[in-house]
Amino acid sequence: MSAVLFGSISTIADTSELQRQSFNKAFASHGLNWQWDRDDYLEMLGQNGGRDRIAQYAKERGETVDADAVHKTKSEIFQRDLASSDARPRAEVVQTIRDAKTTGYKVGLVTTTSRQNISALLDALNPDLTSDVFDVIVDATDVEEPKPSGAAYEFALAQLGENAAGCIAIEDNVGGVQAARAAGLTCVAFPNENTAKHDFGAAQRRVEQVRFEELESLIPSR
């Protein structure tokens, strides 16, 4: 068998702008005079991990903040706002998953975000997309090293009993592509609205929507 591995929650539904807005609301909640506009945020997305973005931003401004606490508040706001949003799966994602499963592929969601964020997303997308379509779901608690380390993908492959050569990853950010390639996976870049201008040269292909037939054609061992 083989597997199609979605690499972040924003490869499933584009939550990038909602994430940015959640950061700004968290800053206000903690009394921080910070405001990340889209240009600021686009530059920061080259670095994986919201907590690390907060810490780095504070360091650059010469301020001391509790990055863990701010990020916790941001996650709570994101999960709350996601529940009341009109989030929908991205173009062709549901059909791609159906086609993959029908063809005998396994399907995974391989992230280093929290399990709570994943659950909030899938709750928001229900009934269009639910957790039972995934043969493996990887979150931040499953590995010690976040992306761009390949650890999350290596963990997923071990759980699935699959070899990297027969699988393909779908990623929406540069760090995710690096993680997929580090694990030996073929990788397709599927940018979200805030990573559309990033350099995805390390991916085998860049697409504006995913289609199973195209994904399958890129796997060398098939």
CATH of the domain at 68: 1.10.150.240
Q: Is the bond preceding residue 220 a cis peptide, omega within 30 degrees?
A: no
d(CA 68, CA 4): 32
Q: Residue 113 maps to which CATH number?
A: 3.40.50.1000
Residue with tokens 């991205």: 90
Cα 130 to Cα 117, 127, 183, distances in angstroms: 14, 6, 26
Average pLDDT, the chain: 94
pLDDT of residue 222: 57
Across the range 136-151, mean pLDDT stands at 95
Helices (H), 62-217: 67-83, 93-103, 115-125, 151-160, 174-182, 212-217
Among residues 26, 49, 83, the one where a domain terminates is: 83
Domain that holds residue 154: 3-14+88-217
Are 124 and 107 within one domain? Answer: yes
pLDDT of residue 219: 87
CA angle 172, 19, 157 (to 5 degrees): 40
What's the distance, Cα to Cα, between the start and end of the chain in Å? 10
Are 160 and 198 within one domain? Answer: yes
How many domains does the chain divide into? Answer: 2
Among residues 83, 110, 126, the one where a domain terminates is: 83
Are 114 and 205 within one domain? Answer: yes
pLDDT of residue 204: 95
Cα 10 to Cα 39, 52, 121, 219, distances in angstroms: 19, 19, 9, 23
Question: Is residue 126 classed exposed, middle or buried when 0-12, 13-18 and 19+ CB atoms within 10 A define those classes?
Answer: exposed
pTM summary value: 0.92
Are 50 and 133 within one domain? Answer: no
Does residue 162 fall inside a structural domain?
A: yes
Beta bridge pairs of residue 169: 5, 187
Among residues 83, 105, 130, the one where a domain terminates is: 83
Are 78 and 179 within one domain? Answer: no
Are 23 and 10 within one domain? Answer: no
